[in-house]
Amino acid sequence: MLEVLVGLVVGLLLLAGVLVMLGPNLAGAIRRVRSMRPTKVPAVFQNRQPEVATPGLNPKTQRVVVAAARLSNWLRAHGHDDLSRELRGSAARLTSNEPVALYALQSVLRKVRGLEVEESSEERLKALTTELRTAVQDRFEQLELLPFKRP
């Protein structure tokens, strides 16, 4: 019986020594140990938080964004990074100030029209710019904005 009591006292003294060595970091150590334990209920079975629906873009605006992304990717792949960046910036503004962004897209389209590319890529560029131009014009009509006059 005495041996058990001595064993308990030695164990408690060892535990007290470890706690003294940990000192102020004890709270952080306890948090780390608790975080290592697995949760009681796996995440699969927990109730999911209801997702807040973000306001979506108008379908025609989405068409403009997709067409701008396609043209921007093509421009970047063919070494026209500055125009690609400008096009992406204009398309990104569609969520905050759509009319200004549409006018900016039209001015970028004018710059793209002046590009000189290889004959093999010219057809693809023309198809992409036509797609973007029609999407922008459709959105202009829907918003009842005045389109730019042709130079």
**Percent of the chain whose predicted confidence (pLDDT) is above 70:** 83
Q: Could you read off the pLDDT of 85-96 as tens digits, one per residue?
A: 999 999 989 888
Q: Could you read off the pLDDT of 97-120 as tens digits, one per residue?
A: 888 999 999 999 999 988 888 888
d(CA 145, CA 20): 74
pLDDT band at 54 (very low <50, low <70, confident <90, very high): very low
CB-based contacts of 71, cutoff 8 Å, min separation 6: 87, 112, 128, 129, 131, 132
- Please check whether residue 51 lies inside any domain of the structure: no
- Please check whether residue 54 lies inside any domain of the structure: no
d(CA 105, CA 120): 25
Q: Which two tokens stand for residue 151?
A: 């130079």
Residues 138 and 83 in one domain: yes
Tell me how many domains the chain contains.
2
Residues 76 and 107 in one domain: yes
Q: Would you give the DSSP letter of residue 46?
A: S
How close are the terminal C-alpha atoms of the chain, in Å? 104
Q: Give the global pTM.
A: 0.59
Comparing 22 with 11, which gets the higher pLDDT?
11
